[in-house]
Each structure stands twice: as C-alpha cells, then as structure tokens.
Copies of this chain bind each other. A is one copy, B any other.
Amino acid sequence: MRTRRSGCPINLTLETFGDRWSLIILRDAMFGGRRRSFRSFLNESTEGIASNILSDRLQRLTASGLLTRAADPGHKQRIVYSLTESAIELVPLMAFMGSWGIRHALPSFELSQRAQVLEDGGPQLWDEFMDELRHIHLGLPAPGVSALAKMQAAYEASLSE
C-alpha cells in the first residue's frame, strides 16, 4: 500500500489513479472494446505513450487494483489486461472529462464524437456502457445494447462528413 498523504476521499482517488498516463491507459482499455496487451496499448496510443512509462503505469494500475493481468486464452504466451469493477466504475469520470474537454479544450471534431454520445446518453448510457465493460472484462452476461457500437457509429459517421 502506498503512503496516504491524507484520508480525504478526493486525495485518495487521486493517489489511486491521479496521473495523466494512468488515465490515458484506462481510457484506452475502456473505449478499445476488448482486453489489451502491452503491444496494443503501445501501438494504438494516439498520444504516443513511451514503452517505459506504459510498463510502469501498467504495474501501478495492477498494484492499485484497477487492472488485472492474465494469459490470453487464445495466445498463451501473451498477457492481456482487464479492467476491474472499480475501474469500470470510473466511466462517469471519463464521460465528465470528455464533456469538459468538448466545452473548454478545443478538441478535434472526430475524436469528440464518442464523448458527445456519452454526454447525450447521460447516466443511462453510462450504465449500459459499464455493463458492456463487465461483459468484456469480467465475463458477465452481455447487455442487450452496445454503447461501444453507438460510439463507433458516431465516430465513423463523422469521418465521412
């Protein structure tokens, strides 16, 4: 366990994942639509994360209980990372950061589409998205709707505009 600088819940939340790269990794694990290997985090990172930073943050996120690591059932030599329930419950935080970014940080039109779908869908869509992540990462039953498919469709539509 890390040193706790105070017992304030906001501080402790920040001590658990309050690092820009940690949240970028959690974002990619959430919106990527499947469990991820070290190589897929590295190669598909829009922000160009460095491999030593990725390696360090994956270790920290695993130690903090936000990611678990296991052999890929398909390729036994490959390790894949899954979100835990406590990480999945960060979906509203991601939705909020996306909304704030749309309003205050001049994002790209195409890369704002998923955040806009999450904002428009509100808490009901966030719940559906969390259920979909519980299916992908924790093996629970698949929900009837796919929030990821809605977000992907909005993103693809924006590319042809």
In contact, A6 and B47 (Cβ under 8 angstroms)? yes
The binding surface of chain A is classed by DSSP as helix
Copies of the polypeptide in the assembly: 2
In contact, A111 and B18 (Cβ under 8 angstroms)? no
Closest to A19 in B: B20
Judged by a CB distance under 8 angstroms, whether A90 is at the interface is: yes
- Which of A100, A108, A110: most chain B Cβ within 10 A? A100
Closest to A31 in B: B10
Q: How far is the CA of A14 from the CA of B106 in the complex (A)?
A: 13
In contact, A108 and B8 (Cβ under 8 angstroms)? yes
- Which of A6, A12, A48: most chain B Cβ within 10 A? A12
In contact, A111 and B19 (Cβ under 8 angstroms)? no
Closest to A94 in B: B10
Q: How far is the CA of A96 from the CA of B126 in the complex (A)?
A: 14
In contact, A86 and B108 (Cβ under 8 angstroms)? no
A101 to chain B, nearest CB (A): 3
In contact, B47 and A5 (Cβ under 8 angstroms)? yes
Contacts of A102 in B (CB 8 A): 9
What residues of chain A have their CB less than 8 Å away from a CB belonging to chain B? Answer: 5-16, 18-20, 23-24, 27, 46-48, 86, 89-90, 92-94, 96-108, 110-112, 115
**What are 18 A-B pairs at a CB distance below 8 A?**
A6-B111, A7-B110, A8-B47, A8-B111, A9-B97, A9-B107, A9-B111, A9-B112, A9-B115, A10-B24, A11-B24, A12-B101, A13-B104, A13-B105, A19-B19, A90-B100, A92-B96, A96-B96
